Amino acid sequence: MRERLRAAGLTDIADKVEARERLSFDDGVRLFETPEFLGVGWLANRERERRHAGRTYFNHNLRLEATNVCEASCLFCSFARLTPDQPGAHTKSVEQMFDRLRARAGEALTEVHMVNGLHPGLPFSYYTDLLSGLKRIRPGIHLKCFTAVEIAFFADHYGKTDRQVLEELRAAGLDSLPGGGAEIFAPRVRKKISYDKCDGDRYLSVHRTAHAMGMRTNMTMLYGHIETLAERVDHMLQIRALQDDTGGLQAFIPLAFHNENNQMRKLPVPTATDTLRTHAVARLLLDNVDHIKAYWISTSVELAQTALWFGADDLDGTVQEETIYHMAGSTTPSALSTDQIEQLVRAAGREPIERDTLYNVVRVPDAVAV
């Protein structure tokens, strides 16, 4: 492989990675542009194995969404409805949400991951009631709820600071923030695809505040639409800079654009090689982030398995009730059991480890005799 990397003019980057030196913006762009796809994957895999060997993390979680009414009009979104009276709009009562969790009483869930639309007509107490009720039903469950975009919306809409919102939600049971809403930070792109929700600086600032309060968070990047490769690198390096300051970020999740039932349906979706390369470049650039997650609902199950050899060490979770991607054309199942995930990881030649949201090991499944 060294010979291939040399022939592709990547020896300097390979040497830096080996010496654990930080890669630059230009290095990132070169890793995206080089035709030496396997070389980039090889470097990322070596880095992944240095950190985690063959270990591959997943968790037993439940996706919930309380409302898809959203005053933002992101062009890529197939899930939101602008007003409550539009066809397909729904807002659940807190009791209906509690029933969704109660229905899983027999399952060894460790996390609820909730993302909602930006609904202008609900009181703030709706969200605190939701959190405290979910915690009452399952006191041990980790509540990973509300993206930084939702936190910024709550602050503006209810006249609070970001910190007040986070503190009040934490007092009600919030444990950490999921990574949604990042899209691409570059204003050129953001103005076009999601012009009326919080900008990249605010997204990062909400995460900074959460980290300062001792909360852990994840961050994402929506790729494969109108962004340039340089804008992807810029996005990752802004995340790296924040992580240098706070250390509160747990995982980075590249999210592959899906093009059905939204205003960007004329664009093609990213190719398989683009998806694998994006996970690989993330592993190499984000030297201060422990985990790169392949979200199987976004990549496809097969590509998520392959990404485990291109820098990814996490497969997200069992998920169970997913709409954002399925409304945008994802053909994956909307749930996998922990047994299925374990088998997928093993079939990919890796070792499954069930974790909780904070990456504490919950269970190391026994290898199945063949």
Applying CB under 6 A, the residues found at the interface with ligand V47 are 76-78, 115, 147, 178-181, 183, 218, 220, 222, 253, 255, 257-258, 262, 295, 298, 316, 324, 328
Q: With the C-alpha atoms ordered 162, 163, 168, 174, is the resulting torsion angle positive or negative?
A: positive
Q: How far is the CB of 313 from ligand V47 (least distance, A)?
A: 14
Nearer to ligand V47, 178 or 311 (CB): 178
Long-range pairs, 69-72, Cβ under 8 A, ≥24:
69/117, 69/119, 69/121, 70/116, 70/117, 70/118, 70/119, 71/117, 71/118, 71/119, 71/120, 71/196, 72/117, 72/118, 72/149, 72/194, 72/196, 72/197
Residues 170 and 107 sit within 8 Å (Cβ to Cβ): no
- Quote the least distance from Cβ 324 to ligand V47, whole Å: 5
Q: Render the burial of 80-108: b for 16+ CB within 10 Å, e for the rest.
A: bbeeeeeeebebbebeebbebbeebeeee
Name the minimum Å distance from CB 67 to ligand V47: 15
The secondary structure of residue 369, as a DSSP letter, is P
Write down the least CB distance from residue 218 to ligand V47, Å.
Answer: 3
The CB-of-78 to ligand V47 minimum distance in angstroms stands at 5
Rank residues 46 and 90 by Cβ distance to ligand V47 and give the closer one: 90
Identify which of residues 298 and 338 has a Cβ nearer to ligand V47 in the complex. Answer: 298
The CB-of-203 to ligand V47 minimum distance in angstroms stands at 10
Helix (H, G, I), strand (E, B) or coil at 196: coil
Q: Characterize the bridge pairing of strands 351-355 and 361-363.
A: antiparallel
Residue 165 or residue 255: which is nearer to ligand V47 going by CB? 255
Judged by beta carbon, residue 173 or residue 179, the one nearer ligand V47 is: 179
Closest to ligand V47 by CB, 102 vs 191, is 191
* Residue nearest ligand V47, CB atom distance: 180
